[in-house]
Structure formats: structure tokens, C-alpha cells
Structure 1
Amino acid sequence: MRKLLAKPAAWLSPPLWQATAVTGLLGLLLTSMAWALWWSPGGPYPIWMTVKTVPLLLPLRGLLHGRRRTAQWASFLPLPYLLGSILAVYGYLVPPQFTSALDFAGAVLQGLFSLLLMTGSMYYAYTTAGQR
């Protein structure tokens, strides 16, 4: 078990870790736009959508081209999105509920995609450490 936990990046090759990071980034981008435009209870908020999605566009080109330094920095990017999804899930599960079931589903999706982006970019940078 110790060997498995010491080198978890050996499960996938670097291109698959890159695909995991890109999938997480695109999914997080889509769920952020959908949450701000359609799922929010007060109506569409295009300015809030812009604030949430513009930072996600910054590492897109670097991750698509497989740049290691971009992957290193992109592993920090989903932390606020993960925190927001944890708060929305907590707000649904603990009484008094201040979120709806649709917010709960969006928060779960956003949390999963942010975890995909974080682990994919982190382990892509780890597995490509010795390559030039």
C-alpha cells in the first residue's frame, strides 16, 4: 500500500493525465457558465459568469499544448471553485437549507470537475518532471 501511495502517478501515462486535466478544465468551464446562466435561482447573471469563467480560460492553451509549467500553476486554479462547491453542498445537506437540489447537483458537478483538473494537472506536471 505504501508503494501505491508513494507513486500514484504511475496509474496513467502523461498524455492521459493531460487529458484528465483538460477534461476537468472544460467541464469546470461549462458548469460555471451553466450555473451562472441557467441554474441560479435569481435569473441569469452574465457578469458573475464572466468573473467565474475568465480565469479558467487562462491555462487552456498551455494545457492543450502540454506545457508543464502551465500545469503546475493550473493545479492551484480550481481551489476556489472546489471551496464554493463544498459550501453549496453543505448548504443543501445541513438544515436550514439555503440551496436547492439543482444547486446541489451543480455543486457536485463543479466539485468533481475541479478535482479532475487539480489531480490531472498536478500529476501531469509530476510525470513529466524529467522530460525535456
Structure 2
Amino acid sequence: MNPMLRWSRNGAVAGMLALFSLCLAWELWLAPLHPGGSWLALKALPLLCPLPGLVRGHRYTYQWTSMFVLAWFTEGVMRAWSERGASQYLAGVEIALSVVVFSCVVVYARFSRGVAR
């Protein structure tokens, strides 16, 4: 396998798992909206949907994941803008992780074009 494909696939999977973990920990323990956790932790569950396709290297999954992850980027931007304290820093991490996932899936989709044919 092309080293660029392997790097981008591993980065996308690792970034998606890290983003899932961050969203879950953020809303349950680190800085929940309500003491004891909130239902907002459910926002992490859709992040598990593309994982099987990412692990298997399905190009189509990488293509739609590039648009899918932008929802978490947008949430991170809005919460970094509107909140203070720990939530603002966690939002910055969410932004960074979503950019990593986006970059990795775009690179994979781009460099796997010839492989798919």
C-alpha cells in the first residue's frame, strides 16, 4: 500500500476515535452542560458510523466523511466563540481534531483515486 494512503487512513481512524472520545468525555465528565453529564453526549455516537468503512479503506466512506465531520468543526467553532473556561479549550481541541480528520480523509480520497480504478 502507498505510504500516503496508509498514513491518511491511520490518521483518519485515529482522529475519528479521538474525536469520539473527546465528545463523550466532554459532555459526561470534563465540562458537561449540567452537573453529572448531559444528553449532549449522544452527539458522539454518529462518529462511530463511518469507522467500519474507514478501517476497510472504502473510498466512498472517505468522501462522505469529509462533509460529515464538518458538523463537529462547526460545533467546535460555535462553542469556542460562545463559551468560557474548560469548554472553550475543549472546543479548540474539537476543532483541531475535526481538521485532522477532514485533512486525512481528503488526502485518502485524493490519492486512492487511481487505486479504485
TM, length-normalised to structure 1: 0.79
Q: Which runs of 5+ in 2 are unaligned?
A: none
For residue 123 of structure 1, the aligned residue among 99, 107, 110 is 107
For residue 78 of structure 1, the aligned residue among 63, 69, 91 is 69
Pair 1:40 & 2:32 matched: yes
Contact 1:21 1:116 in 2 (8 A): yes
In 2, Cα distance between the equivalents of 1:23 and 1:112? 13
Contact 1:24 1:115 in 2 (8 A): no
Count matched residues: 112
Secondary structure of 1:42's aligned partner: coil
In 2, Cα distance between the equivalents of 1:16 and 1:70? 17
For residue 98 of structure 2, the aligned residue among 89, 110, 114 is 114
Contact 1:25 1:56 in 2 (8 A): yes
Shift of 1:89: 1.6
> Identity of counterpart residues, as a percentage?
26
Pair 1:102 & 2:86 matched: yes
Contact 1:23 1:116 in 2 (8 A): no
Secondary structure of 1:130's aligned partner: helix
In 1, Cα distance between the equivalents of 2:75 and 2:7? 27
Structure ranking higher in helix proportion: 2
TM, length-normalised to structure 2: 0.88
Root-mean-square deviation (CA, aligned residues, Å) is 1.3
